Chain A
Amino acid sequence: MAEIVLDGVTKRYPDGTTAVSELDLKIADKEFIILVGPSGCGKSTTLNMIAGLEDISAGELTIGGARMNEKAPRDRDIAMVFQSYALYPHMTVAENIAFPLRLAKVGKAESKRKVQEAAHLLDIEQFLDRRPAHLSGGQRQRVAMGRAIVRDPKAFLMDEPLSNLDAKLRVQMRTMISRLQKHLGTTTVYVTHDQTEAMTLGDRIVLMRKGVVQQMGPPEELYEHPHNLFVAGFIGSPSMNFLNADVTSDGLQTVLGPIPVSDRMRRALEANNAPAQVIVGIRPEAFGDARLVRERRPEGHDLTFTGHVDVLESLGAEKFAYIDLGSSGAIESEHLAEAFQGNVTDQSRSQLIARLDPMSRARRGENIELDYDPDAIDLFEPETGVNLSERV
């Protein structure tokens, strides 16, 4: 059990590329921290540097107060779970789990007891005599976990451990990992590119982009108060809606119609030299079916607009309406392009996603009047991507 501290940790490759730059991170004892970001953001490199599988170019890494930069992986007393599970194919499950103990020269009886304990915890006792080739993906994943927990290390490092599993199993294993980490109370660093995993698992999230930390904090904080466009676009599923807006004396001119400038927005704009253009960000759940909203709060004074429902996804507990906004509202921003990496979106047209109550009568191919709360709007500077409304 230990605290892991990264102080200005940097990874530079011989060809001059910087994978991670000046990373400061203090991981408290027993904390579950998530490194998340699109591919190539430096999250796996960071994990490998903590593990000792990659050298640290600059900065200092301490685990439990001791400098680790020059220590070999085996002297750091940390365990790692790999995306590929990396089980030894020529050993049985029991031998796989016992391997770290064998290397640590733990006695036979003691080793057997610990393997049993770990297997019991992970519910893989019945597979102990099998070889990894005869296990399913989920079972292999648990064996890999078993090999990590068996020697009671100072910390766990997990490199996308769930990404090879199917969706349903992934959710089960997510819960299992969360429960296991709380039960064992071992400091854990978890790398993923999946923002849902990040939101659900971690005590704290470190969101990275191109080797630089964009924002660090509890999941709710990143969700509710994103520092910039990238964070706002990356965190949340479906992601936040972004619209171009001209700032005029009548308010913000958007494809949804004019949005009156509230006191909060005015303060935000004034504090940032009153830019002429901003990007408006609205979460899908900030929208509601105007008809339902009026029934529930007749005195409401929210904004409304009418849009054409392009696609409607009904998930039972909620409905997602995809509103076609035509080609005018499309946003070109490198911050967003990076945040949406891998998500196929039609670049030429812009659409808006609204999360609606299942009671809504929205229908595909019909128009719907949507209501939204101006207080739920975030304003971003188009060039730098900074969230203007964050600190007011």
Chain B
Amino acid sequence: MSRHRDRTAGWAVVDLVVVVCALIPVVWIAALSFKAPSTISDGRFWPTTWTWSNYAGIFKNDDFVRGLINSIGIGVISTLIAIVIGTMAAYAVARLEFPGKSLVLGISLLIAMFPQISLVTPLFQIERGLGLFNTWPGLILPYITFALPLTIYTLSTFFREIPWDLEKAAKMDGATPFQAFRLVIAPLAAPGVVTTAILAFILCWNDFLFSISLTSSSAARTAPATISFFSGSSQFEDPAGSIAAAAIVITIPIVLFVLLFQRRIVSGLTSGAVKG
């Protein structure tokens, strides 16, 4: 009995350490975001006077609002395209035998593993040449590229779990291959598609590297990159409070998504790992 209690206590300590390590930076940023500019560097963790002025300030900043719109627009479009292409590709990978199947999977895995930083310079040159630099499509294209491996891999495990007999049955019941997909397979895969879409959106939403490298103005710059351009109201003012507030603002949607779809995301990331 006491051994059992010792073990529980031991795990509780470990859990606490992990949670504290993970949360301290977040709490710190949250605390910073509520500090007035003059007290930013007062050496205290918690603000002495709580203020919403940083939040009010960033939403008065047109660049940040524009950055949020860019982030949402570019993220949603990239996710939609990646999901449509990824669903079809994953279906083919899970269900069909075709020459070059392992090549397709290999290449998409390669892309997922590829160091993105090494692509920045060539992409910069190419996009300038094509006139895509500093435009929405200029960011949407690389986002799709990097969201596709994720969608293909996650969705193909979902598709593999749908019994093939259902599709055969639909065909016997008189469905065309597309009807079988639309009326039987797609509704069953819907939870998986939603989960994958959220993962893909988070991937695009969190990107900083491409956004900072492939944009030059607020025309297409997404929120994370916009934050790095924050300056104080005067040259001598430290923008840390505004940056912290903006960071909290762009984290909130992700936290909400994850809280709402927690179960599904976990099962999406692990599905197929063990035979059920």
Contacts and interface: CB of A to CB of B under 8 A. Distances in A.
B191 to A, nearest CB: 11
Given A90-B187, A90-B188, A74 B163 contact: no
Interface stretch (B74-82, B104-112, B118-126, B165-173): B165-173
A86 B168 CA distance: 8
Contact of B174 (A74, A89, A90): A74
Contact of A84 (B165, B173, B174, B179): B165
B175 interface: yes
Interface string A85-123: 011111000000001100110000000000000000000
B184 interface: yes
Interface residues of B, number: 17
Which size bracket describes the interface of A in this complex? 20 to 34
B172 A103 contact: no
B170 to A, nearest CB: 8
A223 interface: no
A84 B164 CA distance: 10
Contacts of B231: none
Contacts of A83: 165
A143 to B, nearest CB: 12
A103 B166 CA distance: 15
Main secondary structure on chain B at its contact with chain A?
A: helix
A103 B187 contact: no
B166 A73 contact: no
Given A74-B175, A103-B175, A104-B174, A80 B188 contact: no
B176 interface: yes
A147 B173 contact: yes
A51 B172 contact: yes
Given A86-B163, A86-B165, A78 B187 contact: no
A90 B163 CA distance: 13
B58 to A, nearest CB: 44
A50 to B, nearest CB: 11
B91 to A, nearest CB: 17
B171 A53 contact: yes
A82 interface: yes
Main secondary structure on chain A at its contact with chain B?
A: loop
A132 to B, nearest CB: 11
B173 A82 contact: no
A84 B188 contact: no
A205 interface: no
Interface string B171-195: 1111110010001100110000000
Contacts of A72: 171, 176
Given A84-B163, A89-B188, A103-B179, A74 B168 contact: no
Contact of B184 (A82, A88, A104): A88
A180 B183 CA distance: 29
B169 A86 contact: yes
Nearest to A84: B165
A79 B176 CA distance: 15
B86 to A, nearest CB: 21
Interface in A37-91: 51-53, 72-74, 78-80, 82-84, 86-90
Given A86-B163, A90-B188, A79 B179 contact: no
A82 B169 contact: yes
A63 to B, nearest CB: 14
Interface of B: 163, 165-166, 168-176, 179, 183-184, 187-188
User: Across chains A and B, which 4 residue pairs bring their CB atoms closest together, nearest first?
Assistant: A86-B169, A86-B165, A100-B173, A103-B174
